[in-house]
Amino acid sequence: MMPRVLSPMPRTPIAAACLSLAVLTAACATNPVSGKRELSMLSEAEEIAIGRESDAEVRREMGVYDNPELQRYVSDVGQRLAALSQRPNLPWTFTVVDVPAVNAFALPGGFIYLTRGILPYLDDEAELAGVLGHEIGHVTARHAAQQYTRAATGGIGLAILSIFVPATQPFGDLSSTALSLAFLKYGRDDERESDRLGIDYAARGGWDPTAVPRFLQTLSRMDELSERGVPNWLSTHPEPAARVIEAQPLAAKAASADAQAKNRDEFLKQIEGVVVGDNPKDGIVRGNTFIHPVLRFTMEFPEGWDVTNTPSQVAAREPGQPYYMFLQTVDRPRGNTIDEIAARSMTAAKFREVNGENVSLGGLEAHIGVYQGSLPGAGKVMMRAAHIANGRQVYLIAGFAPADAFDKIDRQVDASVRSFTALTARDADKVRANRLDFYTVRRGDSWQSIAARGGALVRATELAIMNDHAVNEQPQPGDRIKIVVAG
């Protein structure tokens, strides 16, 4: 969690103007992939304009992963694929964003993104080409433009949505998404078409096309585990198991003597040392504990709650219940005392204080209060919130629930709020990012023993899936596998 604002994707002037113009000038156009005439709400120039402005927002909110060599490598593979597509003249860009979720996505106009979180789950360059080719397919077949039109006209926003808007009004539209990072979903037909296009582009580029169903199998294994966390590829690219079955014969047909490249060694060289999981500069989650070594504090969220960390907010939710907590920074409202600051902040959010007190948390002045108010999509809620003054910024920690259920969580929320403590410089220095490394399997090794020997930074099942194995399939002596090590 860094002190910057994560806000709903704005309807930028150009994007809004393009959309308004498109609504007025909707006409039939030829789809670049299918060759069929279809209703087109956006011209190519409008796609590019929308994509370019949205690209700036994605880069600002997610961050670009700081590894120029890796960025060049991914871009080179992507550009080779894009040149083989039906729309080679788009201003294609390929970017690795600094997000731990396993995901890849596309914006209209040729703007393609991989999260750093997907890289450890790819096994070679052919799989990378398959994923990039799939996303290129969403652009060339105009799926991204069609989805944007549906989303924008429905007020959903393009790529990134958030419950809270820290700088102005802390509490936004709860109905838009449960937690940060929600991407647009594609229908089954769109996915099938993009899988086919990804296979075609990869094969024509000389890569092994069977890598596409191979990575879909990895996604299927992840789906079976139903991992918790922020929305990832599995929530935006549905039914990987079914897609494996459909993609396998297509890949087999596309395979040839000229399409066999995997380039595994080069790919592994490029991803060696990539950050796995949270980046300490944004704070890290370990179990239900949040630690921020840069801002030098730590706190505990309620046991058993799902905790999600983004660059500008940490959010937690009790599984299956409308009970939430969040931690973020806000610009310091005017006020000489901490209770004045809290009052201005909550009044701006249209919340009324029921009771409150000034306390010290982590050696900082704080005000803890219980408030009544309403949130769009949630109705009337009760909230316990702490405003903690830290120079020109204020930490805001809050937990809320429907008004008639607040008593069920208030004790947990209060304990969590009061767990906020300062982190010593020595302890902060000990916090390091987990990184990807390699290991040669020895006789007697298992995923369980390898994971345990590495400090259980990842589960044995994750380690197996990361290395293109079924969870019940053990590694063989001599295999060079990916592992996760403490930085």
Partner residues linked to 39 by β-bridges: 28
| DSSP bridge pairs for 27 | 40
Sign, CA dihedral 219-220-225-226, equals positive
State the pTM of this model: 0.74
Q: What is the pLDDT of residues 11-68, one digit of tens each?
A: 344 344 333 444 434 455 667 776 666 655 678 898 899 889 888 888 887 889 999 9
Topology (CATH) of 280-425: Protein Transport Mog1p; Chain A (3.40.1000)
Q: What CA–CA distance (Å, rounded) separates 54 from 184?
A: 14
Q: Using CA atoms, how far apart are residues 292 and 284, in angstroms rounded to an integer? A: 6
Q: Residue 231's pLDDT is what?
A: 39
Residue with tokens 């058993």: 304
Question: In a 3-state reduction of DSSP, which class is residue 23?
Answer: helix
pLDDT for 23 equals 42
Q: Where are the domains of the chain?
A: 13-154+183-276, 280-425, 434-486
Q: Identify the sign of the CA torsion 330, 333, 336, 342.
A: negative
d(CA 401, CA 117): 32
pLDDT value for 332: 78
CB-based contact 231:222 (threshold 8 Å): no
Which residues of the chain, if any, have pLDDT below 50?
2-26, 153-183, 227-236, 238
C-alpha separations of 72 from 79, 117, 442 in Å: 10, 18, 34
- Predicted local distance difference test score (pLDDT) of residue 36: 64
Q: How many helices (H) and strands (E) does the chain have?
A: 15, 19
Taken as a whole, the chain contains a residue count of 487
Q: Could you give the dihedral angle defined by the CA atoms of residues 453, 264, 221 and 162, in that order, rounded to the nearest 10 degrees?
A: 90
Q: Burial-class residue 59 by CB neighbours within 10 Å (0-12, 13-18, 19+).
A: middle
Please give the C-alpha separations between residue 437 and each of 275, 333, 480, in angstroms, as whole numbers: 10, 45, 10
| 373: helix, strand or coil | strand
pLDDT at 311: 65
pLDDT for position 27:
55
User: CATH fold of 434-486, please?
Assistant: Membrane-bound Lytic Murein Transglycosylase D; Chain A (3.10.350)
439 CB neighbour count, 10 Å cutoff:
16
